[in-house]
């Protein structure tokens, strides 16, 4: 617990994570406003509003990346290893702290989305009940952000270079996964139709946890959660290996 | 106690540390000297578990660093002078360390006062001078009130007041029975600070001994100034002493001052100056770490 508290203190005492939280919250609020304002909410309104937050899940991954690579970039990893020479424990605390930090960001996001959307919908006589469905939507967003952040920490532990990790993460999620989707659609079906491959890739798996519009392109929530957990576990194991082997 | 035993670290084809053994004893300050690239930092990093050595061992209190039960309360170390997040305040940097080691924030403020950083503590470290960063590193090393200190170039960037303050602090810590190992390239500093020295070159030990013993090895000369230089030179050489002109009006003689003075008196030579030039740690260091010299 103290190591988790230490990791949280490291996040709180620098500016970038706080700015990142603000950006995530503002973007999510804007997307939610766009959804409500353009009357484009479908049947499952709670889930689709949660999706407004999930759109910026990549920034949660960046938060996890920073939690690990900041220490390599500024040399504080040396003092961290002096305090905890068992490097696997260092990574375990960082992955744990990432899960929690991701959950906190998701809750803040959900609050802002609710603050934007609920009064607006109520004013239009389309009030959204805070029922079990709404709770499930928030729960899915929390899981998606927690795992997305932990994934970033794991990749950061493998690569260690901050710029390198951020480039890899952005290129993978924004370019490579889409390319694979296009290729797979061309090979196995038609463009614009769900393809059999891309739903198993990490970005789609994280998106599948929340679901919402376009759910036919991703796995259902349960399998998405398990698949993402698998990705996080495998990448964290590789990160632990890389951290233990490569001396800072 | 610190013990390095047959430590070897190879980076590809480069031997950074080559079969190095030495000890640093409790209650003493041990100076760890060597030219740039001699392997000092590599050795210190091996002592605190920051690198995987090729062979041999480096232990603190008989244990590998990663096997210490409470490393922060056992060993305080400075490995890099500037290992801070530039946007974090000095105090928050120490708080993150303290949190990891279950040390209270009260102790953080205590060590900040000890290194005279209480005023700057709530400023971001990017505005710190090199000397302030060094003192913040030292505060981090002292946080756990450790029995062993391993400091890589702790005097770098300190002003003359800071250097004297550091010397007094390290001497006081050693006097309390702690083991202090300090690497440096400022030899005059080490001569005044250390009880023992370990000198390495090209990853190998060239000498290790108490400071007075090392200084005794430095060649000594007597300098003598006289208006009758040729007369005295002939007399000295006639007595079988090694003497040669030194500067414009002096002679350098390989003999004690008393010998030279008595000989001059016996011959009626006028002396204007007679001084004993004792060897310095620098002389010994340069002599021992010269290129091409085979390490002993």
Q: How far does the CA of residue B217 sit from the closest CA of chain A (Å)?
A: 38
Whether the pLDDT of residue B218 is over 90: the answer is: no
For B46, name the nearest residue in chain A, comparing CA atoms only. A247
Whether the pLDDT of residue A154 is over 50: the answer is: yes
Helix segments in B8-122, DSSP class H: 40-47, 71-74, 90-100, 105-114
Confidence (pLDDT) at B110: 97
Whether the pLDDT of residue B20 is over 80: the answer is: yes
Average pLDDT of every residue of chain B: 91
- CB B50 to CB A248 under 8 A? yes
User: How many angstroms separate the CA atoms of B83 and A235, rounded?
Assistant: 27
For B65, name the nearest residue in chain A, comparing CA atoms only. A85
Average pLDDT over residues B249-260: 86
Confidence (pLDDT) at B243: 87
**Chain B contact for A39 (CB, 8 A cutoff):** no
**Chain B contact for A76 (CB, 8 A cutoff):** yes
- CB A84 to CB B51 under 8 A? no
Candidate from B48, B50, B84 with C-beta closest to A76 = B84
Q: Is A213 helix (H, G, I), strand (E, B) or coil?
A: coil
Strands, DSSP E only, in chain B? 2-11, 14-24, 29-33, 55-60, 75-78, 148-152, 179-184, 196-201, 204-210, 221-225, 243-246, 250-253, 273-277
Question: Nearest 5°: phi and psi at B190?
Answer: -65, -35
Say which residue, A12 or B188, is predicted with more confidence: A12
Q: How many CB pairs under 8 A join A and B?
A: 76
Average pLDDT of every residue of chain A: 94
Average pLDDT over residues A54-80: 95
Candidate from A3, A6, A82 with C-beta closest to B71 = A82
Out of B9-13, B40-44, B185-189, pick the least confident.
B185-189
User: How many angstroms separate the CA atoms of B55 and B64, rounded?
Assistant: 13
Q: Is B20 helix (H, G, I), strand (E, B) or coil?
A: strand
**Chain B contact for A13 (CB, 8 A cutoff):** yes
Confidence (pLDDT) at B294: 47
Confidence (pLDDT) at B172: 96
List of chain A residues whose C-beta atoms are within 8 Å of the C-beta of residue B85: 10, 13-14, 70, 74, 76
Confidence (pLDDT) at B291: 55
Out of A23-32, A193-202, B40-49, B281-290, pick the least confident.
B281-290
Say which residue, A202 or B217, is predicted with more confidence: A202
Model confidence pLDDT, tens digit, residues B113-169: 999 999 999 999 999 999 999 999 999 999 999 999 999 999 988 999 999 999 999
**Chain B contact for A80 (CB, 8 A cutoff):** yes
Give the residue from A68, A83, A243 with the most B CB atoms within 10 Å of its CB, the best one to mutate: A83
Say which residue, A171 or B250, is predicted with more confidence: A171
In 3D space, the residue among A149, A3, A5 whose CA is nearest the CA of residue A66 turns out to be: A149
For A245, name the nearest residue in chain B, comparing CA atoms only. B52
Whether the pLDDT of residue B293 is over 60: the answer is: no
- CB B84 to CB A74 under 8 A? yes
Give the residue from B66, B85, B123 with the most A CB atoms within 10 Å of its CB, the best one to mutate: B85
For B92, name the nearest residue in chain A, comparing CA atoms only. A13
Residue B290's pLDDT band (boundaries 50, 70, 90)?
confident
Residue A166's pLDDT band (boundaries 50, 70, 90)?
very high
- CB B100 to CB A2 under 8 A? yes
For B77, name the nearest residue in chain A, comparing CA atoms only. A82
Whether the pLDDT of residue B219 is over 70: the answer is: no
Are β-strands B148-152 and B243-246 bridged in parallel, bridged antiparallel, or unpaired? unpaired
Residue B296's pLDDT band (boundaries 50, 70, 90)?
very low
- CB B100 to CB A16 under 8 A? no
pTM (2 decimals)? 0.89
Whether the pLDDT of residue B292 is over 50: the answer is: no
For A5, name the nearest residue in chain B, comparing CA atoms only. B99
Whether the pLDDT of residue B295 is over 70: the answer is: no
Question: How large a percentage of chain A has pLDDT more than 70?
Answer: 100
Q: Which residues of B216-231 are buried (b: 16+ CB within 10 A; e: fewer)?
A: eebebbbbbbbeebee
Average pLDDT over residues B273-283: 81
Model confidence pLDDT, tens digit, residues B165-174: 999 999 999 9
Model confidence pLDDT, tens digit, residues A6-52: 999 999 999 999 999 999 999 999 999 999 999 888 888 999 999 99
User: How many angstroms separate the CA atoms of A72 and A161, rounded?
Assistant: 7
Candidate from A10, A15, A78 with C-beta closest to B50 = A78
């Amino acid at each position: 617990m103290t190591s988790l508290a230490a990791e949280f203190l490291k996040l709180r005492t620098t500016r970038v994570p706080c700015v990142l939280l603000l950006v995530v919250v503002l973007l999510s609020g804007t997307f939610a406003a766009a959804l409500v304002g353009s009357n484009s909410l479908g049947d499952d309104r709670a889930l689709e509003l949660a999706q407004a937050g999930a759109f910026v899940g990549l920034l949660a991954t960046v938060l996890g990346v920073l939690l690990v690579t900041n220490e390599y970039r500024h040399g504080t990893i040396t003092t961290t290893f002096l305090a905890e020479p068992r490097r696997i424990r260092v990574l375990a605390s960082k992955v744990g702290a990432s899960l929690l930090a991701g959950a906190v960001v998701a809750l803040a996001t959900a609050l802002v989305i609710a603050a934007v959307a609920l009064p607006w919908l109520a004013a239009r006589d389309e009030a959204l009940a805070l029922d079990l469905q709404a709770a499930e939507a928030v729960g899915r967003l929390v899981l998606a952000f927690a795992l997305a952040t932990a994934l970033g920490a794991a990749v950061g532990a493998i690569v260690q270079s901050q710029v390198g990790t951020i480039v890899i993460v952005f290129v993978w999620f924004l370019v490579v996964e889409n390319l694979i989707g296009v290729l797979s659609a061309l090979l196995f079906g038609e463009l614009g139709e769900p393809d059999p491959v891309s739903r198993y890739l990490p970005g789609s798996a994280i998106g599948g946890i929340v679901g919402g519009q376009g759910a036919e392109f991703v796995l259902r929530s349960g399998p998405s959660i398990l698949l993402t957990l698998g990705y996080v576990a495998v990448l964290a194991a590789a990160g632990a290996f890389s951290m233990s082997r490569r001396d800072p | 106690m610190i013990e390095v035993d047959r430590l070897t670290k190879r980076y590809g084809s480069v031997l950074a540390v080559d079969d190095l053994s030495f000890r640093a004893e409790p209650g003493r300050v041990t100076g760890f000297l060597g030219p740039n690239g001699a392997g000092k930092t590599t050795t210190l990093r091996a002592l605190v578990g920051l690198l995987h050595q090729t062979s041999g061992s480096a232990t603190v209190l008989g244990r590998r660093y990663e096997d210490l039960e409470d490393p922060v309360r056992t060993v305080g170390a400075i490995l890099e002078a500037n290992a801070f997040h530039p946007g974090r305040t000095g105090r928050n940097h120490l708080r993150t360390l303290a949190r990891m080691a279950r040390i209270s924030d009260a102790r953080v403020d205590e060590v900040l006062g000890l290194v005279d950083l209480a005023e700057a503590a709530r400023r971001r470290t990017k505005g710190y001078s090199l000397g302030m960063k060094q003192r913040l590193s030292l505060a981090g090393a002292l946080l756990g009130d450790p029995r062993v200190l391993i400091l890589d170039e702790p005097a770098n960037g300190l002003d003359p007041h800071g250097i004297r303050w550091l010397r007094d602090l390290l001497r006081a810590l050693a006097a309390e029975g702690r083991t202090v190992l300090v690497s440096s390239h400022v030899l005059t500093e080490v001569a005044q600070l250390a009880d023992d020295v370990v000198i390495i070159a090209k990853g190998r030990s060239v000498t290790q001994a108490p400071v007075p013993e090392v200084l005794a090895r430095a060649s000594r000369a007597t300098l003598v100034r006289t208006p009758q230089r040729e007369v005295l030179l002939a007399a000295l050489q006639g007595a079988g002493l090694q003497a040669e002109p030194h500067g414009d009006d002096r002679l350098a003689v390989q003999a004690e001052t008393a010998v030279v003075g008595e000989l001059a008196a016996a011959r009626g030579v006028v002396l204007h100056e007679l001084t004993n030039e004792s060897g310095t740690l620098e002389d010994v260091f340069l002599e021992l770490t010269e290129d091409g010299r085979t390490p002993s």
